[in-house]
Amino acid sequence: MWGSVRPAHPWLHGVAVAVGLAMLVPLVWLVVRALQGWELVLSVWGSPGTWSALWRTLSLGIGVGVLAIGLSLPLAWLTHATDLPGRRWFRILFNLPLAVPSYVAGFVVVAVFGPMGWFRSWMGGGPEVYGGFGATLALLYAYPYALLPLQAALSRMDSRGWEAARSLGASPLRAFLTVVFPALRPALAVGFLLVALYVIGDFGAVSLLRYESLSYLIYLRFRSLFERAEAIPLGLLLVAVVFSLLLIRRWIGGRTRLVLSVRGGARPWAEVPLGRWRWPAFGFAVGVVLFGVGLPVGTVGIWLVRGLSHGNVLPPVWEITRNSLLVGVGAALITVFLALAPALVQRFGHRLVARPVWLFCHLGYALPGIVVALSLVFLATAVAMPLYQTFPLLMFAYVVRFLPLGLGSIHEGLQAQDPRLHEAALSLGCTPLQSWRRVVLPGLVPWFVAGWLAVFISTIKELPATLLLSPIGHGALSTRIWSLTEDAFFTAAAPPILLMLLLAGVALLWQPGSRLR
Amino acid sequence: MPLSPWLRRGFGGVLVSGVLGVGRVCCCGLVALTERDRGVAPLALKTNFIIRGIAPKPGGLAGFAGGSAGWVGGAVGRATRETRRRVEWGASGDCSGTMGASCARVRGGRRWWVFCAWALILLGAAGCDRGRGTQSEGVADGGVVTVYSGRTEALVSPVIARFTEETGIRVRVQYGETSQLAAMLLEEGTRTPAQVFWSQDAATMGLLAREGRLSRLPEEVLGPVPERFRHREGRWVGVSGRARVLAYHPDRVEVSSLPARLEDLVSEVWRGRLGWAPTNASFQAATAAMLTLSGPEATRAWLEGIHGLSPRAYPSNTPAVLAVHAGEVDAVLTNHYYLHRLQAEHGAAFRVRNHYLRCGEAGSFVSVATVGILEGATGPSRDAAERFVAWLLSTESQEHFALVNHEFPMVSGVAVAEGMPTTEALNAPQVDLAHTESLEGVLRLMRDTRVLR
Listed in order, strand segments (DSSP E) in B95-206 are: 144-149, 170-175, 196-199
Per residue in A26-49, pLDDT (tens digit) is 999 999 988 988 888 888 888 888
DSSP output for A17-37: HHHHHHTTHHHHHHHHHHHHT
Q: What is the rounded (10 degree) CA torsion for B46, B47, B48, B53?
A: 90
Q: Do B193 and A110 touch (CB under 8 A)?
A: no
Residue A166 or B385, more confident: B385
Chain-chain contact of A223 with B172 (C-beta, under 8 angstroms) = no
Q: How far is CA A346 from CA A265, A338, A351, in A?
A: 25, 14, 7
CA distance B358 to B360: 6
Give CA A307 to chain center in angstroms.
Answer: 33
Q: Give the pLDDT of residue B331.
A: 95
* Burial of residue A383, with CB atoms counted within 10 A of its CB: 0-12 exposed, 13-18 middle, 19 or more buried: exposed
Q: Show residues of chain B in contact with A378, CB under 8 Å.
A: 187
Per-residue pLDDT at B81 exceeds 70: no
ipTM, two decimals, is 0.81
* Nearest residue, CB atoms, A381 vs list B154, B173, B187: B187
Kindly list the distances between the CA atom of residue B277 and the CA atoms of A250, A497, B284, B351, in Å, as whole numbers in the listed order. Answer: 41, 26, 9, 21
Q: What percent of chain B has pLDDT over 90?
A: 32
Indicate the Cα dihedral angle B336, B337, B341, B347, nearest 10°: 40
Helix ranges, B168-275 (H): 178-188, 203-210, 219-222
Radius of gyration of chain A (CA): 23
**Residue of A318, A487, A509, A516 for testing the chain B interface, max B β-carbons within 10 Å:** A487
- Residue B213: list chain A partners with CB under 8 A: none
Largest CA-CA distance found in chain B, in angstroms, rounded: 93
* pLDDT score for B6: 41
Question: In angstroms, what separates the C-alpha of A132 from chain B's closest C-alpha?
Answer: 15
Q: Print burial letters for A219-253: b (CB count within 10 Å at least 16), e (below 16).
A: bbbbbbbebbebbbbbbbbbbebbeebbebbeebb
Confidence label for B330 from pLDDT (cuts 50, 70 and 90)? very high
Q: Does A57 touch chain B (CB under 8 A)?
A: no
Question: What number of other Cβ atoms are within 10 A of residue B421's Cβ?
Answer: 15
Cα B328 to Cα A9, A45, A111, A115, B343, distances in angstroms? 63, 36, 11, 6, 18
Q: Please give the full DSSP string across B343-403, using - where no structure is assigned.
A: HHHHGGG---EEE---SSSGGG-EEEEEEEEETT--HHHHHHHHHHHHHHTSHHHHHIIII
How, if at all, do strands B274-276 and B312-313 pair? parallel
Q: pLDDT per residue over B162-192, tens digit each? A: 999 999 999 999 998 888 888 888 888 888 8
What does each C-alpha distance from B384 to A293, B150, B230, B235 come to in angstroms? 47, 20, 21, 17
- Which of B146, B187, B321, B448 is best to mutate for the A interface (most A CBs within 10 A)? B187
Kindly state the DSSP code that residue B424 receives in the 8-state scheme: G
Q: Which residues of B, range 153-192, sit inside 8 Å of A by Cβ?
A: 153-155, 172-177, 179-180, 182-184, 187-189, 191
Pick left, alpha or beta for residue B230 (phi over 0 → left; psi -120 to 50 → alpha; otherwise beta): beta
Whether the Cβ atoms of residue B329 and residue B254 lie closer than 8 Å to each other: no
Which strand (E) or helix (H) includes residue B408?
Answer: strand B408-409
Query: What residue in A sits closest to B116 (Cα-Cα)?
Result: A333
The C-alpha atoms of residue B423 and residue B432 are separated, in whole angstroms, by 17
**CA-wise closest residue to B11 among B72, B82, B62, B64:** B72
- Burial letters B187-203, b for 16+ CB under 10 A, else e: bbeeebbbbbbbbbbbb
Nearest CA in chain B to A48: B453
Judged by CB atoms closer than 8 Å, whether chains meet at A266 and B105 is answered as no
Judge contact between B192 and B185, C-beta under 8 A: yes
Nearest to A512 by CA among B74, B80, B104, B123: B104
Tell me whether residues A448 and B153 touch, CB distance under 8 A. Answer: no
Residues in chain A: 517
Q: Which of A76-90, A185-199, B112-126, B231-245 has the lowest mean pLDDT?
A: B112-126
- Contact A479/B at CB under 8 A: yes
User: Which residues from B are below 8 Å from A310, CB to CB?
Assistant: 344-347
Q: Is the pLDDT of residue B301 over 70?
A: yes
CB spacing of A264 vs B98 below 8 angstroms: yes
- pLDDT value of residue B388: 94
Decide if B344 and A312 are in contact by the 8 Å CB cutoff. Answer: yes
Shortest distance, CA A280 to any CA of chain B (angstroms): 32
Which chain A residue has its CA at the smallest distance from B205's CA? A225
Calculate the alpha carbon distances from B326 to A114, B321, B330 in Å.
9, 9, 9
Cβ–Cβ under 8 Å, residues A44 and A218: no
pLDDT value of position B423? 85
The stretch A300-316 carries a mean pLDDT of 87
Write out pLDDT tens, residues B229-243. 888 888 999 999 999
> Does residue A365 contact residue A406 with C-beta atoms inside 8 Å?
no
Sign of CA dihedral A319, A324, A325, A329: positive
Contact A361, A243 (CB under 8 A): no
- Per the model's pLDDT, the better-predicted residue between A186 and A512 turns out to be A186
Backbone Cα Rg of chain B: 30
DSSP state of B145: E
Contact with chain B for residue A505, Cβ under 8 A: no
Q: For chain A, how far is it from start to end, CA to CA, in angstroms?
A: 40
Query: Do B153 and A475 lie within an 8 Å CB cutoff?
Result: yes
Within 8 A of B184 by CB-CB distance, chain A residues are 374, 377, 468
Identify whether the C-beta of residue B316 lies closer than 8 Å to the C-beta of residue A486.
yes
pLDDT of A254: 64
Give Cα A354 distance to the centre of its chain. 21
Instruction: Note the pLDDT of residue B420.
Output: 87
Question: Which of B119, B179, B326 is facing A329, going by the closest CB pair?
Answer: B119
Any CB–CB contact under 8 A between B88 and chain A?
no
Contacts (Cβ under 8 Å, ≥6 apart) of B98:
A264
Q: What percent of chain B has pLDDT over 70?
A: 69
Structural element, H or E, at residue B131: helix B97-137
Residue that wins the pLDDT comparison between A254 and B131: A254
- Please tell me which of the candidates A326, A390, A491 has its beta carbon nearest to residue B32: A390
Q: For residue B311, what pLDDT is reported?
A: 92
Phi, psi at B144, each rounded to 5°: -135, 140
Q: Are strands B331-335 and B274-276 parallel, antiparallel or unpaired?
A: parallel
B452 at interface of A, judged by CB pairs closer than 8 A:
yes
CB atoms within 10 A of CB B297: 8
Measure in Å the smallest separation between the Cα of B271 and chain A Cα atoms: 17
Residue A354: the pLDDT is 86
Are B428 and B228 in contact, with CB atoms under 8 Å apart? yes
